[in-house]
Structure 1
Amino acid sequence: MIVLYGVALSPYYNKVKIALIEKGVNFEEVFTPPSREETFLAKSPMGKIPYVEINGYALAESTAILEWLEDAYPTAALLPPAPNARARSRELMQLIELYLVEPARPLTAHLVFGAPLEDAQRAQADEAIRRGVAAVSRIVRVNPWLAGEDFSYADIVAASFFPQLSQVTGQVLGENLLAALPALDDYLARLGQRPSVARTWADRDAALAAFMARRGAS
């Protein structure tokens, strides 16, 4: 049995959850916020979520977990069969996480948690995300998935982050910067029809609604 620890608000948690559902393996979810407690650090060395326990073996970092799943459950593959296509999927995953997700962190913290946001931070994030979107657009091939014919790591990351990034840039910057990606609306609709994504999005939306309700009541 695989146990997934974290919270449904975390896109990185949802990244692993989608992969687990796609693989068709039995897993259990345990609500666990990040922590710096030593008992937590023994299982997730940076105190981050998600992490998994696999028959008592703890593993952190979402991409490492995806790679473990791909090795352990080669059927229902999450990477294309050809080496070039596999590399492209991994490349897109890294481009999205490094050059879209990372620069958007101050915007996300501001929108979700009410963290202060300076004008300089806003401008810097705007510029960096636009560069990231341009980079992804140069190599993405929606046919019908980001890396081609096969649903892969790239699509799992997109499903985990694109809705949040669209909302954050739209509300904080006044423009959905991801709208410049090729065929974005059709692609998101296709993602939402996939059972693993639909389930994860529904759980995320419920968790977000509950969080915002608690925040509004405090």
Structure 2
Amino acid sequence: MAMFPMYVDLKGKRCLIVGGGAIAYRKAEILLRFEADIIIIAPEACSSLVELEKQDKLKIIRSTYTKNDINEVYLVVAATSSMETNEQVYEDAVNMNIPVNVVDDPEKCTFIFPSIVKRGSLAIGISTSGVYPALSKKIRKITEEIFPEDYSEIVEMLAGFRSRVRKSCLTQPEKEHELRNVLEEFYSKGEITPRALNGVLQRHEEKIRA
């Protein structure tokens, strides 16, 4: 069964990760890219998590998991080596209607981590709904080549142009026409770079001001 790819705002949201190993670190690293407020529950934490704690990027509570730990969290990830603990986290979360992901156990996930390509505000999620994660990772690598790092600057430039178009005196159909034309002209050039986009935007800025 395919899972619905719903995008949510995690900025400042309290996200709980139960477990302190390498897998917990990888999940924390993903959530931090979206500015989540992360709490780690684990008797011991790996050096990578400890380093993030030193940088004030997350909080580690060095103890075993209890049901009270799940109170007032936005979502929870179970990433321990104990099947019993993971099962308890899952049951507690489901009973409290909190989204939960049990690592490497698709049957006990009410949400999943897609393979992500993030370029500033552009976030592309790729998933096989847990049936073949390696395929998601392969497609992610291909997608990273299609959308290199400078796409974050491209998205930012387009966002600024859109804002100026919306504030212009153009009619609504004219605004929509300009926004479409910018993309069509940009992608028709064959050079998908911030420099090339800047040239396209300059020409269209003149139309806005006219």
Q: TM-score, normalised by structure 2?
A: 0.26
| Structure with higher strand content | 2
Q: TM-score, normalised by structure 1?
A: 0.26
Structure showing greater radius of gyration is: 2
| Structure with higher helix content | 1
Identify the structure with bigger relative contact order (alpha carbons < 8 Å, sequence gap 6+): 1
